[in-house]
Structure 1
């Protein structure tokens, strides 16, 4: 037993068909010449019997040739079908390879981003500007001692002048850390001060979105909020012990 490539089997099948056609053509020409010679002479009984036998042999040969050609055609069709499936598989594997390549590129970028933060994490807050704190590998600034009240827009402008933006609290851990920091660093004798965060529904009433364009998934609203009182469009965080309502 041995195997061969689809291209080689295809060439063998085509060659077999061509060879059979040539054999039939040669036999036909030979019989034509033979019978032309016989037309000029008187046929005997032996000649008739011999011709009958030759016709039987020729018919058998023809039938065999036809069956062989049918088998060759079936083999050719089978090879063509296999070639089509091979092309489909090649297309499928190429797509998988491209998908893996895209995933590798994404993972590589994430690794590089993580590496860039390692020094900040290992060395602590000295990589943050004075007065800023480090949480979740990001520097944050809370003007705890300031008595100046700002609007949401004014607060964001101030943050952007410092090279940052209003805080995005898009996870339970960030919410808990932020609220606990405010509780531990504000004067307990003073009324709790809230801070604007990067969340608003100014684009579409009732649809809350973070500044990075993502929609609010889980809100830690205080009782009765949001109520749109006085056409409120912006959110703030407060030092409330139950941070699920902060």
Structure 2
């Protein structure tokens, strides 16, 4: 073997040795690299699992918070609904009370309206009565003035005295009562005197007129014949042998007035008499 072959073989062995060494080194590096990559995968997996756990924990916490909030909200809704129901019941109760009070007020208004209408009618009636009374007062005032004038006129003709008997007597006894005192039963021959005498009496009294001598022929106690009479409606009627005349004082009797107050009666009736002196 020549030297070139030796060198060539030696070179081949060196190359072979070098290649083997490099191969071994490269294997070790790959193993390390694989181990390194495995560790990194484990770390990443662990981190991922940890993040998943954290996320799950956060999700559970949030879910719990949400459930609690929803539970509180539902409870709040229930309370609100109950309050609304109570409010509605209270409003319905108040509405019922108000409706009842409204009906009572309407009834009271109707009663007050009816009472007001009745009062108005009473007021109108009182006004009418007041007008009637005012008219009556005016009439009485005028009558009083006329009587005063009549009285003054009678006084001008001479002093006249009128007085009433104090006892109830027949017509004849009443006339005698007057004559015992220098007078006689009154003679009434004018409207003025009739009104005046009517104003003096407040009861039924005998006057000096009768038809005892001749039925239907009325004469005064001085034997003068009646010229003007002041009879009640339907009188004289001689219903029961009525020959003597009274002045009837009855302001409430239909048809009565100071100029319509005479009535014929039996002469035996007991009455007071009005005397003229």
Quick check: TM above 0.5?
Answer: no
Q: Which has the higher helix share?
A: 2
Q: Specify the structure having the higher radius of gyration (Cα).
A: 2
Higher relative contact order structure (alpha carbons within 8 Å, sequence separation ≥ 6): 2
TM-score of the aligned structures, taking structure 1 as reference length: 0.39
